[in-house]
């Protein structure tokens, strides 16, 4: 059966009387020969078409907004509890007030879905604004997001762990956290014993999982001995250990321990934490991003130094959370997925002789304890 003709084909088309010879002017419809009933039917058809167009506009607008948020196939790691963590995320440490909201929007639009947060960063509310925007507008489903939070040192008491977690969930404006970490093995107590103990804090963390407030739990800035202690009593073992990892601090021994214990490692400060020297004084003020070997690899690959270091972290077997508030750098830091460092370049970066912990935690040392030396804090001798 032939398709019905559109309503406008019923009308005679005349040239514009003001420009009868022009072929480019607007044509005028003539209603000659059309009765009132026909005109009413056609007017109704026009009105119905207008209503359909108006009804379709919100979804078309929403689809256009969703299209601004790229779907990038970021690889992921499967954790021991079965959940997955995206291999590249956005770090939010040291993002100044007023900057992190825009940074998270930019990251989500670029294709990031892993956002690393902590209460002590004092910017969870801004992160939450960006998260709420994408969730409430249907731009990114919650199932695609991976949000990490951390309990700060003064909230290690069991009753405070839950309160701190709920406060972060409220600030981040999501119903649960994908990952929650003990930020440091530090509580502020002075004396030979850490109070509250890590065991007390960990058991409270396990309660968060059972309650459904968080999906996975882990630690940050913990050494192998402290992790081994947790594994000895944990009913829910740590899924993630987030620590400093980069070519100037490869952390190979801890990574090997975690691999053997089925604990995933997330690398923070993958660029060598150049902006934290004022917080953590260093014995030698060398800057990873200015290292001659790193620059040479960047030149050979045609990538920038930051991309080379992030790619190294991925090939080192860790997920990685570079931080930036620059839109160009945020987008560029994700451009590390469709290429690899050559074996020679990876080896060159993996054998740099200079090794130094940049985020060294020296401020937590106290001659009265519980940590009187770097070795006690990090479970290994201090690097030269």
Active site residue 121: yes
Asked if 49 and 283 touch (Cβ cutoff 8 Å), the reply is no
As a whole number of angstroms, the distance between CA 19 and CA 1 comes to: 39
Residue 157 tokens read as 């008491």
CA distances from 105 to 5, 72, 132, 232 (A): 47, 15, 11, 41
As a whole number of angstroms, the distance between CA 245 and CA 320 comes to: 9
As a whole number of angstroms, the distance between CA 364 and CA 370 comes to: 9
Q: Which of 112, 121, 180, 248 is catalytic?
A: 121
When computed from its CA atoms, the radius of gyration of the chain, rounded to whole angstroms, is: 29
Helix (H, G, I), strand (E, B) or coil at 114: strand
Q: Which residue matches tokens 């007030």?
A: 97
Asked if 110 and 70 touch (Cβ cutoff 8 Å), the reply is yes
Could you give phi then psi for residue 103, rounded to 5 degrees? Answer: -65, -40
- Pairing label, strands 76-78, 84-86: antiparallel
Who's near 282: CB < 8 A, 6+ residues apart?
356, 358, 360
Give the CA angle between residues 115, 120, 122 to the nearest 5°: 75
As a whole number of angstroms, the distance between CA 304 and CA 59 comes to: 40
As a whole number of angstroms, the distance between CA 364 and CA 43 comes to: 78
Residues with a known catalytic role:
121
């Amino acid at each position: 059966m032939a398709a019905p003709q559109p309503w406008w084909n019923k009308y005679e088309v005349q040239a514009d009387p003001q420009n009868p010879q022009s072929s480019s002017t607007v044509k005028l419809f003539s209603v000659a020969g059309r009765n009132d009933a026909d005109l009413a039917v056609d007017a109704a058809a026009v009105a119905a078409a207008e209503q359909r167009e108006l009804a379709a506009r919100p979804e078309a607008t929403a689809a256009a907004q969703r299209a601004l948020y790229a779907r990038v196939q970021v690889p992921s790691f499967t954790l021991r509890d079965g959940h997955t963590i995206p291999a590249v995320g956005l770090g939010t440490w040291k993002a100044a007030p007023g900057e992190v909201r825009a940074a998270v929007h930019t990251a989500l639009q670029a294709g990031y879905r892993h956002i690393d947060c902590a209460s002590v960063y004092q910017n969870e509310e801004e992160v939450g604004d960006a998260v709420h925007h994408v969730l409430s507008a249907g731009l990114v489903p919650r199932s695609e997001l991976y949000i990490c939070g951390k309990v700060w040192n003064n909230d290690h008491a069991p009753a405070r762990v839950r309160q701190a977690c709920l406060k972060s969930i409220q600030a981040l404006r999501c119903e649960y956290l994908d990952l929650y970490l003990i930020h440091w093995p530090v509580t502020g107590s002075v004396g030979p014993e850490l109070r509250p103990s890590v065991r007390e804090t960990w058991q409270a963390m396990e309660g968060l999982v059972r309650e459904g407030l968080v999906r996975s739990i882990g630690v940050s800035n913990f050494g192998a001995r402290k992790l081994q202690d947790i594994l000895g009593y944990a009913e829910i073992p740590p899924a993630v250990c987030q620590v400093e990892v980069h070519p100037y601090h490869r952390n190979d021994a801890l990574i090997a321990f975690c691999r053997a214990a089925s604990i995933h490692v997330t690398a923070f400060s993958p660029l060598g934490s150049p902006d934290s020297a004022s917080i953590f004084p260093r014995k030698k003020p060398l800057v990873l991003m200015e290292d001659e070997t790193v620059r040479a690899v960047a030149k050979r690959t045609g990538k920038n130094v930051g991309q080379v270091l992030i790619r190294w972290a991925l090939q080192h077997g860790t997920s990685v959370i570079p931080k930036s508030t620059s839109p160009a750098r945020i987008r560029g830091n994700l451009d590390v997925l469709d290429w690899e460092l050559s074996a020679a370049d990876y080896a060159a970066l993996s054998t740099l002789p200079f090794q130094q912990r940049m985020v060294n935690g020296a401020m937590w040392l106290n001659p009265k304890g519980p940590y009187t030396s770097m070795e006690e804090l990090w479970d290994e001798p201090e690097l030269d």
